[in-house]
Structure 1
Amino acid sequence: MVHVKVYNSLLLQKILAFFSGKLRKLLLGKFKGTGRGVKVTFLDFPGGAECFELIARFCYNNGSIVLTPSNIFLLHSAANFLEMKGNIHGIPNLILQTKIYLEGIHYWTWPELVVGLKQCQDLLPVLSSSRLFQEFLDSLVEKLFMPGVASQRTSSSDSSSFQFSGDISSEGAKNYSSQTTWWFQDLGFISIVLLENLVHTMMLQNVEHATICSFLLYYQKARFFSVSIAERCNVTETVVNLICLLDEDSISYRGLLDAFGMTLSLKMSRCCMLKLESLIGSRLDQAKVDDLLVPSPPGKKYAYDSNLILRLVKIFLLKSCNEYCNYRLKKVAGLIDLYIAEVAPDPYLRPRKFAALAMSLPDVARDSHDRLYRAIDMHFEVHRGLCEDEKISVCCALNYNKLSPENVKHLARNPNFPTGLVATASVSLKSKLKTHLKEGHHHKISGENLENLRAKYERRKYKVEEGRKRGRRMAYTMRSRISSSSSSKSRSLPRLCSCGSEPMYPPNELYKHYGT
């Protein structure tokens, strides 16, 4: 609330009352019978002392003042507050003058718009419901994407030492590539309330949600280190609430993780944290294992916040059932296996929590349980004092049919595992070896081996045919010789392979002799 005092100067009060309808009503009859004025105090004068000085200058100049983007909103607000409507007797109408000037707001340059925005921020309680204020925001947003506007920036606009390092989501990168972020730094000064007004205007004008998201993440990071802890919470909660209004595919996942990391040192509201976790958990397949290694809350002995990971996995399973679910589920399973391997050596991580992590995903998510087995083995190695029941509860996450023969063999000899499970692993090992042998035998007669067998068969078939042809030619030659040598004798032609004695080559041996 701003206090402005109009001191008991009779001349000043008469001059102001001449132009202001509100002062005329307040001071009516106060000047009669006294040589001095009265004291007037305004508790909610728009723009404070600076604006009142502009009004006084306007009045002393007989209703004349140069209107500029640096004073237009101050004068317009004060004119409405003081009811400076003028009259038919020639008293200048300051309200009308400011309205006419503001009609040309679409022709303002970018620096002029920024100056006007700073004034609007100071006058928000007065301007928030004004139609002119909304027209100004519409003009500002339109200017953001007009060609050549970036070149209108002043040198001071580029002097900010903070550089935006947030990335653009892969989903929105294609659309976002045509836009620039040159205006991010220029608008980094705006307040939370003005930010909300600006973002809603952007959404009404169909600005790409990827652009809005990037600006919000920039704003949160830029303001985070320049305000108090309480204001940091307020800024972050406002940014998260606004991001939740955007299309989820346009939200930068890496930017969300950065924003989440900055909130760990703050006491955020439960509602805000749930919203942030929901946004992160629904796209958990895009995270890296380093993103999940969040330190445990203060006062906890275990190294990493495993409860957070369990919540994120649950959110992913609830919100990510679509046509890509199976592929994304396997990516999350690989991520969780890497995370489990990182937390397995933690001596303060309880077996019950470790088991919850191991069983947080359905069995279909993993094609192999080798990584999970190695993590469990490491956990048992660190926690040697576990009883059989605790070990069995952890081992319930294992599917022996999804272990490689090498790991089943290792499990069958592993003293860290419960005795009953080792016996089960031995049976599974025998089964796997039989299956492996069958698969190996099948492999020998499949693929390239099958082609080799076919080639050998064709070569052998060709050789057999050639041997038969040679045998027929030999038989024909022998018959011809016998016929010529015994043409004078009338006896029957002997069989090719008998000749009254044991044949030289039995039929089968004949074919073998010729390469069968």
Structure 2
Amino acid sequence: MEAFSPKDSSILSSPYSSQNLSALLKIKVISWSQETGLPVTVRVRVANRSFNLHKSPLISKSGYFKRQLNEWQEVDLPSNFPGGSETFEMIALFIYGSSTFIDPFNVASLRCAAEFLEMTEALGGPGNLCERTDLYLTQVILQSWDDTLIVLQKCQALLPCAEELLIVSRCIESLAFMACMEILDPERKRKKGIVSLEALASQPWKSKLVKEILSDQDHLWIKDLVALPFGFFKRVIGSLRRQGMKEKYVSPIIVFYANKWVISKKTRQFWECLCDNDDDNNNSNTRDDDTSDKVLETLKGILDLLHVGSKVSKIIPVGFYFALLARSLELGGSSMTEGKERLQQQIVFLLPLAHVEDFLLPKQLTESFTSSMEVGVMESIFSSYVLSNIEMKQSPPMGNSIVAELWDSYLSLIAHDPNMTPKKFMNLVEIVPISYRNNHDHLYAAMNTYIQAHPHLSQEDKNTVCKYLNCQKLSQELCVEAVQNEFMPLRLIVQALFIQQLNTQHAFKECSESFRFAYSRELSGSLSSSRYQNSKSQNLGESDHEGEIMIMNKPLSCLLESDHVVMQKKSEILAAAKKEYESTSFRIQNLEQDPPKMINFGLEGRSHSSKRRNNSLGQVTSCIGSVNFSSQRKYAGRLLKIFRRVTLFGRAKLKRKPSVSGS
């Protein structure tokens, strides 16, 4: 076989128009008739075009025509002839000895058509069309990323012939090899890192942000792969894995593809345009069905490509799985049951890494949230997480508290459903065990949202809704808010008041101890420092009177300055504690103005006081029945007297300090 190079005169990279080809073919036919004196004896029909040609050159290059032609005969090529009439026109020019216009856009169709017409080297001699196009594919097309993509795209209309001739397989393997080389390129690594989805793991899933990551100029090769039909894309991914590309590079490509063809809002418009082009007479319902079927088929294929397990936890963000799950619920279909279960299992595994914004919310705002499919799926996910922890029979991991906060935050989003009963709300709360909740701030927010959205709840219902809320596990800010929240049940308000009282008492105790420790430490440190300085000066034998004054005065000034700072800090802490106490005292006075509630509460407390005596003071629920508001007010009076004494003591100290320094 003769050597072949891209610069061969018979290979032109610039495509010619069909008008030029037709005119050139007529010239070739006329020239052949003039040179040989043979008339045109063969008519070949392809689709809606007819070609009048000579028999001799046809049978010399094509085994197919050699079998079909007699003295005079018309040949009708089948409707599925590769490339149609335009490809046959180029083949006819080749048969008449003209330059063959081969380029990436027609090489696949020429190769398939040459195979159909049996234009092999065994019949037509060296350099027949089959060998020539194969050589062009090997030496030109498969060496270029762009040309290989063009040929692969053109092969979609030439199936299954292009598949049988291994054109598709060769293009896919070539693309995968060049993609691996792109990843392994050391110069590229030094300039900029490979595409990654780690930035998406720290924030909710946003389809627009994924597009922005892919828009980088360094990721154009990924954009090319994402543009492939799914059948070819799936095979490219398989080839990438076979050739050794790491999963941290393969998985993001799958995510980008799914985001474009399944999750993106523009997907529906794109598929509808394809359906309209396929059949302009289809009604809207048929187009919708076709669109859903295409997207559903692509979604199922993507789920088959995705790997599951612990290795993908840092590669693919959990928000991506939620987006796929939401899309699968929209598409429906009994065939997606297995796929939905796989998505839910993967979400359960990565649940502590999720964001509330990624969770499924009901699409139909008019229907009850509690009966919606989305809320049911979320219940199933969190229930599966809790069940998996029970089956592991291990100590609860740190992720349990995160999962509890996520679930309570989700309840805040759906708690305003007017059809949600207290019983249903409590059932939702109990899906995640109370033991998982180290902090009750999010639980308080969910209960507060539910109570305010249902103003007609009775006191009994409010007590039921808030029965799991522990004020000891509330932050200081929310504890103060609970005291002032008139929607909360009275029992919870008193709990918060008691906790706030304990916090105030603890703050005073810490303030006093810290002040006493700091003051005594500064004083002892200053005195020892002064003695040390004096002794040092005496040992050195310094007799300079000015030097002795400086050494003696320096520790004393430091003592006065530090004493002033300590007094100032103490006054600030006492002012804050006093403000907090005034807020608590004001709330107590408001409660005292409602005698019926207080009487009922007092009776209830006395009836259960005997049962609570054995409980420790640390439990808030055990102290509610023994709260005595008169004793609290007496205690508050003593605290105010302490405020005044400490303030007067501080002022007196400050007044005496100048006289000491001046002496």
Query: What TM-score bracket applies, with the shorter chain setting the length?
Result: 0.5 to 0.7
Give the counterpart of 1:247 among 286, 303, 312: 312
Residue 91 (structure 2) pairs with residue 65 (structure 1): no
> What CA deviation, in whole Å up to 9, does each residue of 1:11-33 have, x standing for no partner?
467654443334444x2xx625x
CA contact (8 A) 2:348 2:385 kept: yes
Q: What aligned pairs does 1:86-485 form with structure 2 within 5 A after superposition? A: 86-87=121-122, 90=125, 92-105=127-140, 108-128=143-163, 131-144=166-179, 146=181, 168-170=197-199, 180-223=218-261, 224=267, 225-228=269-272, 229-230=291-292, 231-244=294-307, 247-257=312-322, 265-267=330-332, 269-292=336-359, 294-297=361-364, 300-302=367-369, 305-317=374-386, 326-384=397-455, 394-395=465-466, 397-399=468-470, 402=473, 422=491, 443=510
Partner in structure 1 of residue 91 of structure 2? 55
The alignment covers a number of residue pairs equal to 432
The one-character-per-residue Cα deviations of 1:139-170 (angstroms, maximum 9, x if unpaired) are 223334656999xxxxxxxxxxxxxxx98234
The percentage of aligned residue pairs carrying the same residue is 22
CA distance in 2, matches of 1:198, 1:309: 35
Instruction: Judging by fraction of residues, say which structure has more helix.
Output: 2
1:31 correspondence with 2:70: yes
One-letter amino acid of the structure 2 residue matched with residue 313 of structure 1: F
For residues 497 and 324 of structure 2, what CA distance do their matches in structure 1 show? 48
Structure 2 contact 351–403 (Cα < 8 Å) conserved: yes
**Distance in 2 of aligned mates of 1:317 and 1:368:** 18
Of structures 1 and 2, the larger Rg is shown by: 1
Read off the aligned partner of 2:73 and give its amino acid letter. R
AA at the equivalent of 2:298? V
Q: What is the TM-score normalised by the length of structure 1?
A: 0.65
Kept in 2: contact 1:253–1:286 (CA 8 A): yes
SS at match of 2:198: coil
Q: CA deviation at 1:226?
A: 1.5
Name the aligned partner's letter for residue 247 of structure 1. V
Which amino acid in the other structure matches residue 70 of structure 1? F
Q: Report the 3-state secondary structure (helix = DSSP H, G, I; strand = E; otherwise coil) of the residue aligned with 1:226.
A: helix
> In structure 1, what is the Cα distance between the partners aligned to 2:494 and 2:486?
13
The equivalent of 2:61 in structure 1 is: 19
RMSD: 5.0
TM-score (norm 2): 0.52
How far residue 284 of structure 1 moved from its aligned partner, in angstroms, is 3.2
Cα shift at 1:197: 1.3
- CA 425–193 in structure 1, closer or farther in 2 if over 3 Å, else same: same
Amino acid paired to 1:306: V
1:79 aligns with 2:114: yes
Query: Counterparts of 1:434 and 1:331 in 2: how far apart (Å)?
Result: 29
Letter in 2 for 1:31: N
Supply the distance in 2 between the matched residues of 1:15 and 1:104 (Cα, whole angstroms).
28
CA distance in 1, matches of 2:388, 2:161: 43
**Equivalent in the alignment of 2:5:** none
- What is the rounded CA distance, in whole Å, between the counterparts of 2:450 and 2:131 in structure 1? 78
Aligned partners of 2:218, 2:459: CA distance in 1, in Å?
Answer: 61
Aligned residue number for residue 42 of structure 1: 78
Residue matched to 1:496: none
Shift of 1:73: 2.0
Task: Say if 2:400 and 2:436, in contact at 8 Å, map to a contact too.
Answer: yes
Q: Partners in 1 of 2:418 and 2:178 — Cα distance?
A: 58
Tell me if the contact between 1:171 and 1:250 (Cα under 8 Å) persists in the aligned partners: no
Q: Relative to structure 1, is the Cα distance of residues 272 and 6 closer, same or farther in structure 2, using a 3 angstrom cutoff? A: same
1:190 Cα offset (Å): 1.8
